[in-house]
Structure 1
């Protein structure tokens, strides 16, 4: 028994010595750690030494070019820049340019109020400058209501309803003094006067928007695209839109014969008529476009004698085409191509073969 006690006392003494050695080693490791941590803390990443103005400019170029809106959430959203570090957050929140474009998210369910509150904070950071806003159709009026709050600052606007959304976008009724570009699909016609949008120059009207009853300051537009327009609706619009420089039309099929008056567009340079139906031929024959330079059209829309149709347009208008793009489901014979070159000797002729099923 006495011998065992003596052995335990010796073991305790040995363990104490080993513990002291480990504590000394641990103390040395702590000291080394402190030295390394001091070096790390003293290091400043070069990107954090940039002037705030340069960092803000990098942030702006990180986003899609205005007026294209960035994603509302995710790594490509300006919200992501506020979550990297405190300095970047302060810079991002103080840069109105980062927040001037937004595609308002859909608002559904219990999360809708929080989403709209986040979107409202986004827009409030944009200062007093012009805005680019997009709304896709939603059964909730929340996105439209929020957009309406900033209507006086709209510059580029996309209002689009889907097939299952009977949205009529009443936000288009009223003053929009900065509005320059409007892309709209609405269930109902609306009234937008020159006094409402004195700077409006570009309009795209998507399929499904009724043109009967639609009031627009056509005369001040320089760019117009209409998807799915009746030929009877086409004439009065083009007669008023005399300052157009670019126009694209998709005309719906029409069985009844219609005689069109001449349509004078003295400044039109680019024309796209991408519908393979006879109404396109009627519109083409009615146009007087002396400054037309670029024409895109489906081959079938030129009628039975396509080269003669083109020659009539060139002769009637006195225009000098620089680019003729023809969409066709079949190859055009070399003889026909040469005939086109004879009609438009200064034009580059591009043949784009499309799917026959289209």
Structure 2
């Protein structure tokens, strides 16, 4: 029977030429899987070669064990050298004699300065200032507020859960600013992209890390939770979180289109007595319970589904302290008999895609600024008039219902049509307007003409009229400032 002979030879030391070697004969798989019956001679030969292979395996195991022991000694010796070098660096350092408190302030300033430019805790955990020497590293690790700002990208880094647990431990009892992003790139490493496809749930070790984070919700001061977290049914439970310090909450849209219809458990974020700002993207309002009555700023964007108007209006009616509202949702079912949403302190209103659908129900006597700020996909040639018509009807409806007319002084509207607009009629109900900004969706075409027509005979000072040229690039909207007339 034919067998392939292989000679094995591994050099262990180039100085003394110590080596380990073996000789073996492998039987082809076609033979081992066949019905061939060994002769007595072949059987004896294979038994002899098998014993030889066993002896060679023992020799290789001994060699591997010996090399592992050598590597362990090398690592130990290297650590001794590292400690010796750190001590010498500490002695010759120009700021060696600074008190630990001052040195900790310098390290903190450096690390947080980097974090402001590259908000990524994975990058901060390996910051160069923490690698100068052991003393500096120990001071950095012992400074809680360095680790209290947590920004991680689960789609980019495999070790993000480990970094999260490190930050939670090193921040001690300090209040936390938490951002778990669903972005597929990190600002500290924009060239590195996620290597995995969109996934609906987290791995076991990642869920364990998130569980630890949720158990420390009493320390949250700012929380921005990405769709990868909010889409996992195993994490967001009916049990309310304790959030005594939370002032800002940002719930990003779920990852999967199928999850747009799911509702967050009603009272998960309800126990937040200090909450002042909430931003909610593509989440149903059916059961969502927040401390609406204490919010001062609210951002609602529901782009990919229609929301029952009453669910949203019911929440807004409770926002009596609101002074800033950003709204973008297609509301259905608002009629003349719909109870109004009265926001007596509202000053700033930004309407995103379909946001003008709320105007028929809105009463805001203190409103000072209103901006129609679509996302670039909201309007066609004719549809761009919708915000302008909505602005006119908003003023007329307010007068018709006998409520105080808002003293609006600043307006931002999109312009796209080439024909002239009757600005006198548009601002008939807004005599207090002193500043106007036009968002040109023709990239400087009809917008400039519209601006020049408006300036002629306008009571608004020319210096207070601006034009912003908007254009679309790779399905992302940017803004390019145009010289103000």
TM-score where L is the length of structure 2: 0.54
Q: Which residue of 2 aligns with 1:11?
A: none
1:130 CA displacement: 0.9
1:149 aligns with 2:215: yes
| Secondary structure at 1:252 match in 2 | strand
| Secondary structure at 2:321 match in 1 | coil
Q: Which residue of 2 aligns with 1:324?
A: 411
Q: Which residue of 1 aligns with 2:56?
A: none
Whole-angstrom distance in 2 between the partners of 1:68 and 1:200: 27
1:206 aligns with 2:281: yes
1:276 CA displacement: 4.2
Whole-angstrom distance in 1 between the partners of 2:296 and 2:391: 28
The 8 Å contact of residues 133 and 147 in structure 1, kept in 2 or not, is answered as: no
Q: Counterparts in 2 of 1:81-92, with a 5 A limit?
A: 81-92=129-140
Q: Counterparts in 2 of 1:37-56, with a 5 A limit?
A: 44-48=92-96, 50-56=98-104
The 8 Å contact of residues 246 and 268 in structure 1, kept in 2 or not, is answered as: yes
Q: Counterparts in 2 of 1:114-133, with a 5 A limit?
A: 115-133=160-178
Q: Which residue of 1 aligns with 2:151?
A: 103
Structure 1 residue runs without a partner (length 5+): 1-39
Whole-angstrom distance in 1 between the partners of 2:125 and 2:423: 51
The 8 Å contact of residues 366 and 407 in structure 2, kept in 1 or not, is answered as: yes
Q: 1:180 aligns with which of 239, 247, 250?
A: 247
1:145 CA displacement: 1.1
Q: 1:57 aligns with which of 88, 101, 105?
A: 105
Q: Which residue of 2 aligns with 1:258?
A: 335
1:265 CA displacement: 0.5
Q: 2:202 aligns with which of 139, 144, 147?
A: 139
Q: Counterparts in 2 of 1:13-52, with a 5 A limit?
A: 44-48=92-96, 50-52=98-100
| Secondary structure at 1:343 match in 2 | coil
The 8 Å contact of residues 178 and 224 in structure 2, kept in 1 or not, is answered as: yes
Q: Deviations over 1:105-137 (max 9, x none)?
A: 53899x66xx53442222211121210112346
Q: Which residue of 2 aligns with 1:158?
A: 224
CA RMSD of aligned residues (A): 3.9
Q: 1:290 aligns with which of 365, 370, 390?
A: 365
Whole-angstrom distance in 1 between the partners of 2:90 and 2:348: 61
Structure 1 residues 212 and 194, CA, compared in 2 at 3 Å: closer, same or farther? closer
For CA contacts below 8 A with separation 6 or more, give which structure has more relative contact order.
Answer: 1
| Secondary structure at 2:179 match in 1 | strand
Whole-angstrom distance in 1 between the partners of 2:90 and 2:217: 49
Structure 1 residues 198 and 276, CA, compared in 2 at 3 Å: closer, same or farther? closer
Whole-angstrom distance in 2 between the partners of 1:199 and 1:257: 32
1:273 aligns with 2:348: no
Structure 1 residues 303 and 340, CA, compared in 2 at 3 Å: closer, same or farther? closer
The 8 Å contact of residues 168 and 188 in structure 1, kept in 2 or not, is answered as: no
Whole-angstrom distance in 1 between the partners of 2:98 and 2:435: 49
| Secondary structure at 1:292 match in 2 | coil
1:60 CA displacement: 3.5
Q: Counterparts in 2 of 1:3-22, with a 5 A limit?
A: none
| Secondary structure at 2:412 match in 1 | strand
1:242 aligns with 2:355: no
Whole-angstrom distance in 1 between the partners of 2:429 and 2:284: 41
| Secondary structure at 1:204 match in 2 | strand
The 8 Å contact of residues 309 and 334 in structure 2, kept in 1 or not, is answered as: no
Where is the strand percentage greater, Structure 1 or Structure 2? 2
The 8 Å contact of residues 248 and 273 in structure 1, kept in 2 or not, is answered as: yes
1:290 CA displacement: 1.9
Whole-angstrom distance in 2 between the partners of 1:77 and 1:347: 50
Whole-angstrom distance in 2 between the partners of 1:64 and 1:202: 25
| Secondary structure at 2:146 match in 1 | helix
The 8 Å contact of residues 303 and 309 in structure 1, kept in 2 or not, is answered as: no
Structure 2 residue runs without a partner (length 5+): 1-87, 183-200, 255-261, 374-383, 442-469, 478-485
1:98 CA displacement: 0.3
Q: 2:434 aligns with which of 300, 322, 347?
A: 347
